[in-house]
Structure 1
Amino acid sequence: MKICTSKLSLSALVAATLATGSALAGTVTVVTSFPKELTQAYKTAFEKANPEIKLEILNKSTVQGLAYVRELPLGQRPDIFWASAPDAFEVLSGQKLLENVSAQANKTVPAKVGNYPINDPDGQYLGQALAGYGLMWNTRYMAANKLPAPKQWSDLMKPVYFGHAAMSSPSRSGTTHLTVETMLQGEGWEKGWNQLLQISGNSAAITERSFGVPDGVNNGQFGIGLVIDFFGLAGKYSGFPVEFVYPDVTSVVPANIGLIKGSKNPDEARKFIAYSVSLEGQQLLLDPKISRLPVLPPAQMGGKVPAGYPDPFEIAKRAKVHFDSDLSEARYNVVSSLFDQTITFRHKELKAATQAIHAAAAALAKKPNPRGQALLQQARDLAFTPIVGADMAADKNFLLLFTANKKDAAVNKQVTGLEDRWSTKARENYARAKDFAEQAITAR
C-alpha cells in the first residue's frame, strides 16, 4: 500500500511539474515580412538563451500581416509584429492594436537617427534595426551588357537601362512601399510619380514579392534592383557579385518590433522584444546573410562591425529626405492602389510606350524636326504624368475613402469604381503615347 501511495505521490509530482512547466513555457508567434535567414538566426539564438520559450514565425508581407492581425479577435492574435515599415506600425498604433513596450527598450540606443525617432515616442513600438533605400546591381551582368553603374534613382530613367532593372509593388511589399514613398517625399508628388513611371517603364519586371528583386540580381536575371539596403548588403557580404549604393534622395528609418494587443503570450513576447534590441540581439544583424544596420551605433557593437560596413547615422546626416511617417500612413492605400492600377497591372503597356518613346527620342536626336518633338512631348506627358494629381492626393476626404472599411458595400463600390477608371485611363494613355511616339519618328 505504501508502494502504491509512493507511486501515486510520484505521479502527482511529475504531473505538477509538467503543469508548472507548461504554465511557464509559451510559444511566441511572430508575424514578420523578414526573410528566413534573419528569422531563423533569431529563433535559434533566442531559444538557446530561453529554452522554455519557442518562437513560431508566420512569414507574411507587411500588407498581409496588417490584415491578419486586424481580423483576429482578442486572445487569439499573434504576439509580435516585426517589419521594416514604420508607417505600418503607425497604422497598428492608430487602431489601438499595440501594447506599450517602453520597458523593453535598450536604454543605450540613441533617441534619433538623423531627425527620425528610433523608438516610438509613445512607447508603442521599438526600432530594432535601421534601413535605407537604394540600388543594387550585379557587376558581371553590368560588364557583360556594358552598362554604367547607377548612382541616383533618376539614372534608371535613361534609355540605356531599358529592360535591365526590376522592382516590386508597394502593395505586395512594405519595403518597396517605403522606397516608393521615399522617392515621392524627396521629389514631390508629381515629379516623384514621373520618375516612378519612367523607371517602371524601363524595368524588366514588377516582381510578386520584394525577395524576387534581390534574388534576381544576385543570380543575374536582372542587372539592377530597387531595394531596401539589407537586400543589397546581404548579397554583397554573402559573396555574390553585387554592389549597392544609397542615392542622394534616400532616408534612414527604423525597422520596428511591437507587441500586439490581445495576444496569447505577452510576457514571453516581451522577453523576445527585449532580446532583439539587446547587444546580443543587435550583433546578429551583422551576420553576412542578414547584413542589417543595428540601432546601436558602431562604437557600441563590441568591435563586431566589419570594415567598410555602412554607418546609418552618417548616412542619415547626408540623406535629403526627412521621412514623414504620418504622411506615408495617410496616403498608404492610395499610393499602393495607384501604383498597381497604373504600373503593376499595366506594366506590359507601359513598357511598350516607354520603348516607343526611347526609339522616337533616338530618331529625333539624329534628324530633329519641330512636329516630331511636339508629338514626342505629348507621348511623354501621356505616359509619365500621374493620373491622380498632387491636389487630389492631398485631399483629406479622398484619402479617407481609401482608409474606410471596404466591407462597407458603398465604400467598396466607390473605391473599385475609381480603381477601374485609373486602370482604363492608364491603358488608354499608354496606347496613345505609343502611337504619338511612333508618329514622331515619321513626322515631317
Structure 2
Amino acid sequence: MPLMRTVLASALLAACAPVLAGTVTVITSFPKDLTQAYKSAFEKANPGITLEILNKNTVSGIAYVRETPAGQRPEVFWASAPDAFEVLGREKLLSPAPDAANAEVPDKIGSYPINDPGGLYMGQALAGYGIMYNTRYIKAHKLTPPVEWKDLLAPQWFGHLGMTAPSRSGTMHLTVETILQGEGWADGWQTLLRMSGNASQMTERSFGVPDGVNNGQFGAGPVIDFFGLSSKYSKFPVEFVYPSETSVVPANIALIAGAKNTEEGKKFIAFTLSKAGQELLLEPKISRLPVLPYKDLAGKIPQGYPDPAEIAQRSKVHFDADLSQTRYYVVQALFDQTITFRLSDLQAATKAIYEAEQKLGDKAKTGQAAELLDQARKLAWSPLIDPKTAADPEFLKVFTRDKKDASTNKQITQLEGEWSGKAKANYEQAVKLARQAAAL
C-alpha cells in the first residue's frame, strides 16, 4: 500500500504541476550574431524554454513552411522582406498574435505601415537598403566613393562589385524591388543589368556580399543597412550610404499557422518587441534600426546612428509591398535567367561595350559607330519583359500557381528556357556589335 500511495501521489503532483516549457523554433534568414544574442537573452528571461534557430534564406524559408504539415511547423517566421510575409499571408500560413504586440510601436514609418493592417505580422526592426563599400579598396583602386545606385554603373567599377540574387536573398529582393519601384520597370532593369554587368560575382547568400566587402574581395555592393552598419560599428574599414532611391520598411516577425508550440512562440515575438528586445538591436555586431521610437530608448542610441524617420522622409521611394508580392516570383525568375545564370555572358557584353567606348572616344557619339554601340547597349541592358507584360494579371498568375502541377511547371520551365536562350543570344550579339563599332 505505501508503494501504491507513493505512485498515486506522484501522479497527482504531475497532474497539478505546470506544463513543462518546450522548444520554440524560429525560421529566419538573419545572421548568427543577431540570432545568438536573442537566443541567449530570451532563454535567460524565460527559464525552461529553448529557442531553436532554423537558418534559411527567405525564399527557402517560405518553401519550408509551405511544405511542412500543419501541426509540425516552426512557431515563428522572422525576416526582412515584407513581400515574403505577404506571400505567406496569402497562402494562409500565418496566424494573428495581437497579444504579442507592443502598443508603443508607432503605426507608420514615413507613409509605410510598421505592422500588417490585417494583423498577420508585425514590424520588429526597420531596414533601409543601400551601398556598402570598402574605404581601403576604393582608395587603392582610385574609385570615387558611391552615393547613388547610378554611381555603380560607371565603367571604372567593372569587376569591383559583389552582388547576390533575389532568389537567394530576401534582402536583395527588396533592393531589386526598391530600384524597380523608384525608377520604373524598364529603367530599373537597365540599372540592375548594368550594375550586374560590373559585378565580379553573384554570391550564394546575402552574407557573401558584406563579407566580401569587409575582407576586400569586393570594392562595394548593394546590401541591407544592418550589414553595412554592423561592420562599420565593428571597426571594419567600410562605409554604408543610403541612396536617394531607398526605402525604409519593417523587418517583420510573425506567428506561423499550424505551429507546434503557439503560446510560447508568442512569448518570443513579444520579447523581440519589448524594450529589452529592441535594445539588443543596438549592439555593435547587430546594428539594426529599432521600431520603438528613439525617445523610448534614450541614452542607448549610439552617436551618429541613422535616424529611420529622417531617411524615410527624404527617400524617393514609397515601397509598395502589394506590387512587390504580385510579381515576386517573376522578378526572381527573370533575374536568374538573364543575370545569375548568364553572368559571364553579361560581363562579356558589358566589357566589350566599355572597350569600344574607350577606344572610339568622341567617335562613339556620332555616326555608324554610335548606332552600333546603341544597339549593343539595348541588347545587353534592356529587360526581356516589357512593362505591360510585367503588369498583366494573367501572366503573373502563371508564377503563383502550384509548381507541383505538371502543366504549370512545364509552362514556367518553357518561359525560363526562352528567357535564358534569348539573354545568351542578346549578349553574344551585343559583343559582336560593340567589336564592330570598335573596328570603325
How would you bin the TM-score normalised by the shorter chain? over 0.9
Please give the residue correspondences for 1:38-437 in structure 2 after superposition, counting only pairs within 5 Å.
38-365=34-361, 367-368=363-364, 370-437=367-434
Q: 2:25 aligns with which of 29, 34, 53?
A: 29
The alpha carbon displacement at 1:367 in A equals: 4.3
- On the 8 A contact 1:297/1:313 being kept in 2, the answer is no
Q: Give the drift of 1:297.
A: 1.7
Deviations 1:178-198 (Å, cap 9, x if unpaired)? Answer: 000000000000000001000
> Secondary structure in 2 aligned to 1:205?
strand
Distance 2:345 2:92 in 1: 42
- Matches of 2:161 and 2:199 in 1, distance apart? 5
Contact 1:364/1:373 (<8 A) preserved: no
CA–CA distance in structure 2, aligned partners of residues 45 and 35 of structure 1 = 16
Identical columns (%): 63
Determine the C-alpha separation between the residues in 1 that align with 2:10 and 2:256: 38
Give the AA of the match of 1:140: R
Contact 1:153-1:247 within 8 A present in 2 as well? yes
Q: Which moved more, 1:104-113 or 1:5-14?
A: 5-14
Cα deviation per residue 1:308-360 (whole Å; 9 max; x = unaligned)? 00010110000100000000000000000000000000000000100110111
Contact 2:389 2:395 in 1 (8 A): yes
- Give the deviation of 1:8 after TM superposition: 4.8
2:59–2:170: 8 Å Cα contact kept in structure 1? yes
Residue type at the aligned position of 2:83: D
8 Å contact from structure 1 (residues 132, 253) kept in 2: yes
CA distance in 2, matches of 1:221, 1:412: 38
Unmatched runs of 5 consecutive residues or more in structure 1: none
**Unaligned 5+ runs, structure 2:** none
SS in 1 for 2:289: coil
CA contact (8 A) 1:32 1:58 kept: yes
Matched residue type, 1:76: Q
How far did 1:125 drift? 0.6
TM-score under structure 2 length normalisation:
0.97
Q: Which amino acid aligns with 1:300?
A: D
**Cα offset for 1:386?**
0.3
Give deviations 1:361-399, integer Å, cap 9, x for gaps. Answer: 112215455111111101001000100110100000000
Helix, strand or coil at the partner of 2:105:
coil
AA of the residue aligned to 2:411? Q
- Deviation (angstroms), 1:20: 3.8
CA distance in 1, matches of 2:259, 2:387: 40
Q: CA deviation at 1:24?
A: 3.2
Query: Contact 1:102/1:125 (CA < 8 Å) preserved in 2?
Result: no
The letter of the residue matching 2:257 is K
Residue by residue, what CA displacement relative to the aligned partner does 1:390-423 show, whole Å, maximum 9, x if unpaired?
0100000000000011111111111100000000
Give the AA of the match of 1:327: L
Question: What RMSD, in angstroms, separates the aligned Cα atoms of the two structures?
Answer: 1.4
The answer to whether the 8 Å contact 1:137/1:217 transfers is yes
SS in 1 for 2:318: coil
Structure 2 SS opposite 1:133:
strand
Q: Which amino acid aligns with 1:361?
A: E
- The whole-number CA distance in structure 2 between the counterparts of 1:433 and 1:102 is 55
Counterparts of 1:13 and 1:97 in 2: how far apart (Å)?
Answer: 38
- Residue 126 of structure 1 deviates from its aligned partner by 0.5
